[in-house]
A = this chain, B = another copy of it.
């Protein structure tokens, strides 16, 4: 089976499981509350559909890793739903925290229903995620369900750490590369890492395999984030689109920016003077490229990609799902090239 075939088989089941979990709120007197979650998940409201739902990469990762570890991916569905619900909980709260009006092309939950409701929607997604995990005990020993919960809890705490650092770093010009890795480790890698580890656990992988899968997810998350950072400065949209598409205009502490700051050249000088205006985006991106920011970030992305693929190899999982995982990793990383 190819990655595409796995996606075709898994996606409808993932949606069904997600809807089943969110239906815990489907009572007559709280219908509008259920509708808010359903809207955010991409199922209902204007613009509902695949685009609004996102790619469901995290739940597919859980199921592929479970299958590649020799397990039955169908019984792992509650865990797949759990990681996707956690991802979406963090998006709903992030959008409030970042004051973002749009997500996947549609108005965000707080924009439609206000901040207090959006906080509560995020909280509900969070609880339901852990309720989904508790459902695992129908198909797995209680110890396994508890271990999966513990892995996801650790990832969630890392998410709040990363979120704290991201907010604390805002407007600072003195960040080190170490600061960057700590933030990205929490914000991007922790959850992807948990997906792979939980999948391996549920699929019956050995402890060393679980550890290799965990590291695979972690490095893959770092590689993905760094490539996203490159795109955010030099991608087509960043250079030619609206200024909102450029991480330079947003003042984001991305890896190329931190590298540029550490060099103390023209880029750093300009960055420290305050927000980059729309008509400066192109030249500032060029300055950063000339000072080596792009090359550095691309090398790091390559290094992390190689490390991720090494870990996947070391995990020695089974075909055909293992091949699909490799294909998924490559697809994720090529996206940014």
Chain A interfacial positions (CB closer than 8 Å to B): 24-25, 27, 29-30, 32-33, 93, 96-98, 115-117, 119-120, 122-124, 126-128, 130-131, 134, 137, 141-143, 145-146, 149-150, 153-154, 156-157, 159-161, 163-165, 167-168, 179, 182
Contacts and interface: CB of A to CB of B under 8 A. Distances in A.
Contacts of A182: 29
B29 A124 contact: no
A167 B117 contact: yes
A164 to B, nearest CB: 4
A128 B159 CA distance: 12
A117 B164 contact: yes
A120 B163 contact: yes
Given A130-B153, A145-B146, 6 more contacts: A33-B160, A33-B164, A117-B164, A119-B119, A123-B163, A127-B160
Number of copies: 2
Q: Which 10 residue pairs of A and B lie closest in terms of their CB atoms, listed nearest first?
A: A97-B116, A142-B142, A33-B164, A124-B160, A127-B156, A142-B143, A131-B153, A127-B157, A134-B150, A142-B146
A7 B142 CA distance: 34
A254 to B, nearest CB: 19
A141 to B, nearest CB: 7
Contact of A146 (B30, B146, B156, B165): B146
A294 B76 CA distance: 54
A179 B130 contact: no
Contacts of A117: 164, 167
A161 B27 CA distance: 10
Contact of A96 (B119, B128, B150, B179): B119
A163 to B, nearest CB: 5
Contact of A165 (B30, B137, B154): B30
A109 B148 CA distance: 32
Contact of A131 (B131, B150, B164): B150
A30 B142 CA distance: 34
A133 to B, nearest CB: 9
A179 B29 contact: yes
